Amino acid sequence: MIRTIITPKTSNIKIAIPDEYVGKPLEITYISLEELEKNASKKTMGDFWGIISDETAKIMHDEVYQNRKEW
């Protein structure tokens, strides 16, 4: 995986694809760090309600509880 942060000087960017990635599907995403930080700070625990089942949540909670006891 290649990940980097750039500050473009123009609206065009040229990238070189490593040989091992040629012929493979690639995901190319761009987002400003300012926008990324803004979106990340808006999330609350309520945003995740209902994403996992109550059963899965209990299993995860129990594992966290057990791990904390081991510390």
Q: 31-71: per-residue pLDDT in tens?
A: 898 888 887 767 776 777 788 888 888 888 899 999 998 87
Per-residue pLDDT band for 11 (boundaries 50, 70, 90) equals very high
Torsion of CA 45, 50, 56, 58, to 10 degrees: 60
Which DSSP symbol is given to 51? Answer: S
Neighbours of 11 (CB within 10 A): 5
